[in-house]
Amino acid sequence: MEATPTPASHPEPNPKAAPEMAPIQFEEGSSLWKDAWRRLRKNRMAVVGAIILAILGTLCSLSPWISPYEYDATNLALGASPPSGDHWMGTDNLGRDLLTRCLYGGGISLLVGISATAVSLTIGVIYGATSAYIGGKVDSFMMRVVDILYALPFTIFVILLTVMFGRHIVLLFVAIGAVEWLTMARIVRSQTMSIKRMEFIEAALSLGLSKRRILLRHIIPNILGPIIVYATLTVPMVMLLEAFLSFLGLGVQPPMSSWGSLIKDGAEKMEEYPWLLLFPGGLFAMTLISLNFLGDGLRDAMDPRASKD
Amino acid sequence: MLAYIVRRILETIPALLIIITMTFFMCKYAPGGPFDSERATTPEIRKRLEAHYGLDDPVYVQYFRHLGQVLSGDFGPSYKYPSRTVNEIIAESLPNSVELGFYALLTALALGLTTGLIAAMFHNRFLDFAPMAIAMLGICLPTFVLGPLLILFFALQLGWFNVSGWGAASDRVLPALTLGIYYAAYVARLSRAGMLEILSQDFIRTARAKGVSELRILFKHALRGGSLPVVSFLGPAIAGLITGSFVVETIFQIPGLGRYFVTAAFNRDYTMVMGTVIFYASLIILLNLIVDIVVVWLNPKSRFE
């Protein structure tokens, strides 16, 4: 079962089919996606968040090419220096350029955030959709499993996983992704269940469409909204978890850096060199705030009923 | 209600079994044994060590022995500190963690509920927007950024508190704030939303029509229903406070269980890790159970579901 069709398709049947004789209408019935896009653009905080994220994401992914320094190039003669014209964010005690390291670390943090979210998305969508699709006893068994797993303290398990199987970055996001899928599975299942009961599905069934086609063409595109919203809100959670592990020394290992490990280094030396803490901490907090605003904005845009507040 | 409680209690049994089994097999088959640390051990010593800890028995024997021990509350000796049992380490360090968690929870509830109530009372006015903006910031500042910042400002700049340690009474302030502020912010948002929802309901309008004072409406009529989201949040919050205490105890060098756990994870002290994980997991599951039951008890509607 492929779980992610292109979001460009919007297959919901338009109930108010226009009478044939009407002239060409320039105002097409606005689709779910256009509506959502319009509402999202009106939400100033979400737009600002998206712009900040776009800038940060571009800078982080381009940092190996645009930065004049290597992220692990030391300059012991220079040592720790406060922000200056040469080093906009200063250098750490090994003389490494902090801006370069922040951008590089940001790339790692974002990479972990997005990959782990993708892992959790895939597992969650497949699990939830399967459960709702099969229904009956299998469904209630699968959901009971989710209930039980929900009770487990997952942060502790991620720590356990990184302890047991080494502190490799790929393992890190697989481990995080593998434990973050539960809520996604629940959301997908409940959405699928409610859409399954709608009349247009009944219509599709009576037209003789196969179950697989109904699931892929009619159900999944219609639940994409909540999936996207939840995925956007999962990214900051995952990044937080990664930074948490890196801060404890259980995540990304030196000489690689992530925002979590930079904050850890900064916190150790903040008395003498406070900029080592302030810059990565500030960038990280800014990213989290932007992601949260974007996620909230998306939720309000995708679900008009929830936006009354 | 009774059926619900029984079902929830029954659900915890497989959860606990999964935890014990998973930790056991992960520790069993993880690369790197407990004895291949810095000092190289000769094969003979290694054999004797393994025999001493019963590691030369078949796996299923070890598993059931482990299960029996854990169920009777015995987590065995620590591999890293051979003279001490995991139980001793837990018993010694847990009170500090509980104290920290208690103060943090107190901070979260006192600060969060007050802010949430004020924001709901002054809905869509300055006293609503300003606290909620601050709360958003509190949610986005992780403990490991907030903690060092608080130290930087209050301990290093102003010199009001010690940078770290757990001796004087004032040493509790910064750790409790660090750990509690995130949850205070969350509680503020939840209680505001919960109160606003309740305040828009018909029975509140009826109360207003009868001439009940605003304060009485707030505390007598709305608070019980409006605090429900906060109560259901307490389950995840307590779990979060426990994991958050790993960071806070590390930052402030508090001799609590969280710090032992992180050190043990670092040193691959398997028995210690296993013991703490099982202990933490059972604690979280138990507290979640209590919270769930309290939620049902507080919310008459959910008793019929």
Q: Is the CB of residue B19 less than 8 Å away from at least one CB of chain A?
A: yes
What burial letters (b/e) apply to A161-182, b meaning 16+ CB within 10 Å? bbbbbeeebeebbbbbbbbbbb
B262 interface with A at CB cutoff 8 Å: yes
- Say if B288 falls within a structural domain: yes
What are the structure tokens assigned to A53, written together?
């994220």
Domain final position from B38, B71, B104: B71
Instruction: Show residues of chain B in contact with A49, CB under 8 Å.
Output: none
Our CA dihedral for B52, B55, B58, B60, rounded to 10 degrees, sits at 110
Q: Are B210 and B268 members of one domain?
A: yes
Task: Report the distance separating Cα B74 and Cα A63, nearest Å.
Answer: 52
Say if residue B55 is exposed, middle or buried (CB neighbours under 10 Å; 0-12, 13-18, 19+). middle
- Please tell me if residue B118 touches chain A, with a CB cutoff of 8 Å: no
CB–CB contact A249 B266 (8 Å): yes
Give pLDDT, residue A77.
67
- Specify the residue for token string 């301990």: B155
Whether residue B49 is found in the same domain as residue B94: no
User: Considering just the CA atoms, what is the radius of gyration of chain B in Å?
Assistant: 24
The CATH number of whichever domain residue B285 belongs to comes to 1.10.3720.10
Q: A260, B152: Cβ pair inside 8 Å?
A: no
- Domains of chain A, residue spans: 33-65+96-301
Q: How many CB atoms lie within 10 A of CB B72?
A: 7
- A184-228 pLDDT, tens digit each: 888 888 888 888 888 888 888 888 888 778 877 888 778 887 888
Note whether B64 and B119 are same-domain residues: no
Tell me which amino acid residue A5 is: P
> Could you tell me which of B270, B200, B222 has the C-alpha nearest to residue B55?
B270
Q: Does A118 touch chain B (CB under 8 A)?
A: no
CA distances from A192 to A17, A179, A182, A198 (A): 25, 22, 15, 10
Q: What pLDDT score was predicted for residue B136?
A: 78
B37: DSSP letter? S
pLDDT at A23: 55
Q: B12–A151: do the CB atoms touch at under 8 Å?
A: yes
Q: Could you identify the residue written with the tokens 């704030």?
A: B177
Stretch among A149-158, B108-117, B193-202 having the lowest mean pLDDT: A149-158
The answer to whether B17 faces chain A, any CB pair under 8 Å, is no
Each residue of B18-55: pLDDT tens digit? 888 887 887 777 665 555 555 566 777 777 777 776 66
Q: Is B234 within 8 Å of chain A by CB?
A: no
Same domain, B102 and B239: yes
User: In whole angstroms, what is the distance from residue B80 CA to residue A36 CA?
Assistant: 57
Please report whether residue B76 resides in a domain.
Answer: no
Residues B46 and B108 in one domain: no
Interior CA angle at A117 toward B234 and A53, to 5°? 95
By C-alpha distance, which of A239, A189, A240, A224 is closest to A298? A224
Chain A environment of B250 (Cβ under 8 Å): 248
Whether residues B146 and B240 share a domain: the answer is yes
CB contact under 8 A, A157 and B277: yes
Written as six digits, the tokens of A251 are: 């995540």
The verdict on B10 and B134 lying in the same domain is: no
Overall domain count for chain B = 2
Over residues B253-276, the mean pLDDT reads 80
Q: How confident is the model at residue B141 (pLDDT cuts 50, 70, 90)?
A: confident
The pLDDT value recorded for residue A6 is: 44
Pair B139, B242 in one domain:
yes
B interface test, pick of A102, A147, A148, A150 with most B CB neighbours within 10 Å? A148
Q: Which domain range does residue B162 map to? A: 90-298
CB A192 within 8 A of CB A128: yes
**Where does A33-65+96-301 sit in CATH, by number?**
1.10.3720.10
Q: Which residue has the higher pLDDT, A270 or B260?
A: B260
Closest-CA distance of chain B to residue A266, Å: 9
Residue of B nearest to A263 (CA): B145
| pLDDT reported for residue A292 | 82
Asked if residue B231 lies in contact with residue B202, where contact means CB atoms within 8 angstroms, the answer is no
Contact predicate A3/A231, CB 8 Å: no
Query: What SS3 class is residue B126?
Result: helix
Report how far residue A71's alpha carbon sits from residue A159's, in angstroms, rounded to the nearest whole number.
27
- Residue B135 has what DSSP assignment? H
Indicate the residue of B26, B149, B280 with minimum beta-carbon distance to A164: B26
Contacts of B174 in chain A (CB under 8 A): none
Check residue B30 and give its pLDDT: 66
Is the Cβ of B152 closer than 8 Å to some Cβ of chain A?
Answer: yes
Residue among B145, B242, B280 with most chain A CBs within 10 A, to mutate:
B145
Query: Is position B85 within any domain?
Result: no
Whether B133 contacts chain A with CB within 8 A = no
Flag whether residue A272 sits within 8 Å of chain B, measured between CB atoms: no
Residue with tokens 């709901």: B120
| Distance in Å, alpha carbon of A204 to nearest chain B alpha carbon | 33
The answer to whether residue B67 scores a pLDDT higher than 50 is yes
Q: Are residues B156 and B33 in the same domain?
A: no
- Looking at B71, B104, B126, the residue that finishes a domain is B71
My answer on whether B55 and B107 are in the same domain is no
Per-residue tokens: B224 = 């019980």
Structural contact between residues A109 and A170, judged by C-beta atoms closer than 8 angstroms:
no
Residue B19 lies in a domain: yes
Sign, CA dihedral A94-A96-A101-A104, equals: negative
What are phi and psi for residue A281, nearest 5 degrees? -60, -45
Contact A163 B273 (CB under 8 A): yes
Stretch B72-101: mean pLDDT, rounded? Answer: 78
Residue type for A218, please? H
Report yes or no: A231 at the B interface, CB cutoff 8 Å: no
Nearest Cβ partner for B140 among A155, A243, A285:
A285
Tell me the C-alpha distance between A85 and B76, whole Å: 58
B152 inside domain: yes
Give the three-state DSSP class for B77. Answer: strand
Is A246 near chain B, with CB under 8 Å?
A: no
CB contact under 8 A, A156 and B251: no
Is some CB atom of chain B closer than 8 A to the CB atom of A125?
A: no
Whether B81 is in a domain gets the answer no
Predicted local confidence at residue B282, as pLDDT = 82
How would DSSP label each residue in chain A?
------TT------SSPPPTTSPPPSSPPPPHHHHHHHHHHH-HHHHHHHHHHHHHHHHHHHHHHH-SS-TT---TTT-SB-S-SSSTT-B-TT--BHHHHHHHHHHHHHHHHHHHHHHHHHHHHHHHHHHHHH-HHHHHHHHHHHHHHHTS-HHHHHHHHHHHT---HHHHHHHHHHHSHHHHHHHHHHHHHHHHTSHHHHHHHHTT--HHHIIIIIIHHHHHHHHHHHHHHHHHHHHHHHHHHHHTTSSSPTTS--HHHHHHHHHHTTTT-THHHHHHHHHHHHHHHHHHHHHHHHHHHH-GGGG--
The CB-side HSE value for B37 (13 A sphere, CA atoms) comes to 10
Please tell me if residue A249 touches chain B, with a CB cutoff of 8 Å. yes
CA distance B58 to chain A (A): 21
The fraction of chain B above a pLDDT of 90, given in percent, is: 0
Distances in Å between the alpha carbon of B247 and those of A120, B91, B138? 25, 20, 17
Q: Which two tokens stand for residue A153?
A: 């303290």
Please report the pLDDT score of residue B296 as a whole number. 77
Same domain, yes or no: B63 and B151: no
- Judge if B202 and B166 occupy the same domain: yes
| Mean pLDDT for the stretch of residues B189-215 | 84
Residue B10 placed within a domain: yes
User: What is the Cα–Cα distance from B145 to A274, expressed in whole angstroms?
Assistant: 12
Provide block-wise average pLDDT over 10 residues at a time, chain A (309 residues): 44 48 54 75 81 85 74 67 68 73 84 86 87 83 80 74 72 77 85 83 87 80 81 83 81 77 80 79 85 81 53
Q: Which of A148, A247, A266 sits opposite B15 (nearest CB)?
A: A148
* Contact with chain B for residue A148, Cβ under 8 A: yes
Q: Are the CB atoms for B176 and B107 separated by under 8 Å?
A: yes
Tokens 């959670």: give the residue. A237
